[in-house]
Structures are given as C-alpha cells and as structure tokens.
Chain A
Amino acid sequence: MSSPKVDHQQIYRAVPLFKSLSEEELDAILSISRLFRSPEGHHLVEQGESGKGVFIIVNGSATVTVVDSDGESTILASLSRGDAVGELSLIDSSPHSATVTCTETCTVFHLDNKAFNALRAEHHTAAFKVLRATAPMICERLRQMNDRIAAIFANPQKSMAEMEKVYLRKTEHNPFQ
C-alpha cells in the first residue's frame, strides 16, 4: 500500500504550478500547505477580501463570480478537479477579484500566501519555480484580456450596439442613474 505522502505527490504532480518541482521542493511546498474539505455553498475566497493564496480543487466543483457596483453578479468560470484560483495573490498579496463558491462538497488544497512569501524571502528554489510557473498563465490571461479590449475597438459599430444594450439594462435597473 502506498503512503499518503506518495498519493499527494501524484495529485500535485498533475498541477501545472508544481510540475517543475523536484521531490524535495514539492515537500517544501506541501509542508506549508493544507488539504481540507469544504461544504457546498462555502466561499473559498470572497471578492475584495485580502489575498489568501492559491486554492486548487482536488475533488468537486466550484464557481467563480463577480458582483459589480450595481450588485449584479456574473459567473465568470466553473472550476473542477485540478483547477486553481488565487495565483495572483501569491505574487503580490493583493485582494481577490472574485468570489469562489463550492457547488458541492469539495476537497481543496490551499497554499497560504504568507507561508509562501516566507519561503520566497528565504530564496527557496521551490518558491521561485512556483512563481515562474504562474507566469505563463498570467501571460495567457493578459493576452486574452488585451484581445477582448482590442476586439471592442476593432469593430466600433458592433460594440456600440452592445454598449447601448448594456446602458439600457443598467438604466432599467436604476432609472435615476
């Protein structure tokens, strides 16, 4: 029978953030992380709260939602096994930009950003390998964002029609705006 440690290693090997880590480096990360069970409806992180680090769904599913200034909430993404959120909070400890809610009982891996930053301050190779692994994801998301912004201005006529709809919906919602 394999030890629980080996099971963990197998799970985390599959996570892009940890792929390049040696066994010792992965141990260093696991020693400052925790695995916990989270019930349906529980918020792993809430929009606006200070950065808590990275959460990886080991089992189960969750949604990512944002609430705008009018109180309107939008689902940005659905998360399932292996998906991670909160990578940015590892880098700069800034507040979470969305709320993550478990849609069923989940097993969740949490790498706390304070513990991670202690590892980073020690110049531990594990911390820098994880940071480096976040970079391509951020690059990809940045490219997607920039493409979406560019697409809005590439076809102004089409976007104007869309924005008029957004405007109407907002004024309907609050006619005194």
Chain B
Amino acid sequence: MGSPVFVGIQRILVAFDASPHAEHALDVALSMAGDMKAKLFVLAVIRPPEPAESPEFHAVLEEGQERFERSFVPLRERARQKEIDLETEIVLGHPAEQIIHKAETMQASLIVMGKRSHTILHRWMLGSNSERVLRYAHCPVMIVH
C-alpha cells in the first residue's frame, strides 16, 4: 500500500511529451497506479506552431501523432503486465490548457507531470507548463524532478 497521502486516488492523469522527464514521471505514475489500483490516463499534447501555416501544421500534426503512438506501444505493454487500467489520448493545443481541461473532464484525482529544465528566457517568453498546471488545476499536481 502507498503512502497515506495518496489514499483515495482513483484516476491519475499523466501529461506525456515523450521527453526523458515525462518518461520518468510515467514510471512514477505507473508504480503509483499499480500500488493503488488506480486508473491511469496518459495525455499527449501536440502544440501547433503559431501562427499555424499550411502545410507545416499538417506535418507537425502527423509527426506528433506518429511519435506519441510509437511511445504508447511499450507503455500499453507495461500497463498490461502490471494489470493497470490504461487509457491514452493525443490532443492538439496548448499543453497546460489541455492538461487542465482533461483533468477536469475526467475528474482526475491527481496530475503527474515531469519538470523540464527551461532557461530563464524560455520561461519568461513562454512560461512553464508545469507552473500553469500547478496554478489552475482543480486537483493535486505532482511534479516529478
């Protein structure tokens, strides 16, 4: 059984971008879901370039879908071995918005996401997705370092 702080967690949402940080967060979430018999939902967000221009947008969309689908194949196998109820979804949009929206619609008990090491300039220009999710999510958020 997991730590008492995790009691009552039934639905875990993992924000996945196929980076090493996200893989690490996924490992943690898989472990937690296995311990707590929670349902695991993995959300991958394709972010379109702004302004989206044809045909670059379609190329980004296709490439993102294929990349995430490839990443989901071994993940599904791991979940099957651990007997974890797993669902995956690929959506398009701003990552923080989509994660928050998904967490609300699926009534997630916990959001798990990796922390990416952005530069100060990057954070100033674009903001950090994990910070935005932390600020606006309706449920607890776990940032895996």
A binds B: no
**Interface residues in chain B, defined as those with a beta carbon under 8 Å from any beta carbon in chain A:** none
